Amino acid sequence: MSKFEISDNWEYFCLVDKIKFIDSFFVKNSHSKEIIFDFLNLKKVDSSGIILIIKYLVLFENNKINVKIENISEKHQKMLNLYKENYTQKEPVVEYKSSSLEKIGKKSIKTIERFGSFLSFQGKIFTYLFYLLLHPSKIRFKAIVNQIEVASIPILPIIALALFLVGFVTAYQGADQLGKFGASIIIVEMSTMSMFREIAPFLAAVIVAGRSASSFTAQIGTMKITEELSAMRTMGLDIDIFIIIPRIIALIIIMPLLVFFADMAALAGEMVIVKYHLGISYTEFINRIYEYVEIRHILLGLAKAPLFGILIAVIGCYRGLQVKSGTDIGKYTTKAVVDSIFWLIIVNAIISLLSIKLGF
């Protein structure tokens, strides 16, 4: 019969040594019939310490070894009883392993379902837009104006600076290359055309996506968590009309304006670099654009802007409605921005191809 002395302090910060100690004792005595735990010299013990002791008590008992407890103080006995009563071990978890085929299947079904729910959300939004066209009195003009202000004014400086620099840089690089053929003057119509058709609308949309898609998701997600949306529903206030449609209409209205603003900022960048690099004056530059760049180029850029606006707003709002708990907001905000930029690229590419094929 061997004795194990539980002495000194058994507190969480000094348990590591005790574990080695008690474990070697267990290994040594795993075949004896009876052992004694002596609590005589125990000074201080906390719950971690007592649970460690209980862990080995249970281990001994499971090995059908009789454990005697000696010299335990009343306080420690009480603690021992309390924790022993509640002692629970981690249940071994049986992990279910699925085959890769199963995983692929599950994932595909989920993806299709998600895509379906996104389409149905879009369908709902368009029915509401149509409904509001027939019942214009229900349009929330104040909310729309408010959203227009919030979504457009603060990003004007960012768009101005970004597009000015992009225009500046593309014209500079292009003029340099074209100069090798002695045709650097062509840069005026070349960069202006590509700016009007592709770069300015796309970059403006990306900047709006970064700002508005994320803020829509965060705002709507927060409203969902604080149960504002549920409250509105119970009051019979339609969240599509009050929350979502105003945001979509706001972006439809501001996107062309922002694109036009971006066009002008880019043009300014080009004009400056062309003047100082090639020595072409502002009047000459404008005259050349007037002669060589048709109006349809700028119109194409402006025409796709509302489409981008719808895309950004719908994705932002949809992701916001998906939020279920407070921790989701960050996740879905990221998703909203990534998704909207991804779809902007795809939609822009399709429009670009179509417009060339159709001769716009």
Partner 1 sequence: MIEVKHISTSFGEKIVHDDISLKVNKGEIFGILGGSGSGKTVLLKQIIMLNEIQKGQISIFGEDIKKLTMKRRDYIKRNWGVLFQFGALFSSLNVIENIGIMLKENTKLPKDLIDDIAYTKLRMVGLDTRVGTLYPEELSGGMKKRVALARSLALDPSILFLDEPTSGLDPSSIKAFNSLILDLRDMLGLTVVMITHELITIKEVLDRFCIISNGKLAITGTYEDALKVNDVTINKFLKLQKDDFGK
131 part of the interface to partner 1, by CB under 8 A: no
342 part of the interface to partner 1, by CB under 8 A: no
- Phi and psi of 182, rounded to 5°? 70, 25
**Between 52 and 155, whose beta carbon lies closer to partner 1?**
52
Please identify which residue in 21, 87, 118, 343 interacts with partner 1, judged by CB under 8 A: 87
2 part of the interface to partner 1, by CB under 8 A: no
Closest distance to partner 1 from the beta carbon of 231 (Å): 19
**Between 76 and 297, whose beta carbon lies closer to partner 1?**
76
Find the part of the chain contacting partner 1 (CB under 8 A) among 45-53, 157-165, 254-262, 289-297: 45-53
Please identify which residue in 90, 97, 142, 180 interacts with partner 1, judged by CB under 8 A: 90
Closest distance to partner 1 from the beta carbon of 316 (Å): 23
Find the part of the chain contacting partner 1 (CB under 8 A) among 90-98, 106-114, 137-145, 231-239: 90-98
Please identify which residue in 326, 345, 346, 360 interacts with partner 1, judged by CB under 8 A: 326
95 part of the interface to partner 1, by CB under 8 A: no
Closest distance to partner 1 from the beta carbon of 16 (Å): 5
CA distances from 222 to 92, 227, 255 (A): 38, 8, 25
**Between 33 and 75, whose beta carbon lies closer to partner 1?**
75
51 part of the interface to partner 1, by CB under 8 A: yes
Q: How many residues bind partner 1 (CB under 8 A)?
A: 28
Query: Which amino acid, 349?
Result: A
Closest distance to partner 1 from the beta carbon of 13 (Å): 6
225 part of the interface to partner 1, by CB under 8 A: no
Cβ atoms of 45 and 15 within 8 Å: the answer is no
Per-residue contact track with partner 1, 5 to 24, x per CB under 8 A?
------xxx-xx--x-----
Three-state SS annotation for the chain: CEEEECCEEECHHHHHHHHHHHHHHHHHCCCCCEEEEECCCEEEECHHHHHHHHHHHHHHHHCCCEEEEECCCHHHHHHHHHHHHHCCCCCCCCCCCCCHHHHHHHHHHHHHHHHHHHHHHHHHHHHHHHHHHHCHHHCCHHHHHHHHHHHHHHHHHHHHHHHHHHHHHHHHHHHHHHHHHCCHHHHHHHHHHHHHHHHHHHHHHHHHHHHHHHHHHHHHHHHHHCCHHHHHHHCCCCHHHHHHHHHHHHHHHHHHHHHHHHHHHHHHHHHHHHHHHHCCCHHHHHHHHHHHCCHHHHHHHHHHHHHHHHHHHHHHHHHHHHCCCCCHHHHHHHHHHHHHHHHHHHHHHHHHHHHHHCCC
Restricting to residues 62-81, name those near partner 1 by CB under 8 A: 78-79
128 part of the interface to partner 1, by CB under 8 A: no
91 part of the interface to partner 1, by CB under 8 A: yes
Closest distance to partner 1 from the beta carbon of 86 (Å): 4
Binding site for partner 1 (CB under 8 A): 11-13, 15-16, 19, 46-48, 51-52, 54-55, 78-79, 82-83, 86-91, 93, 324-327
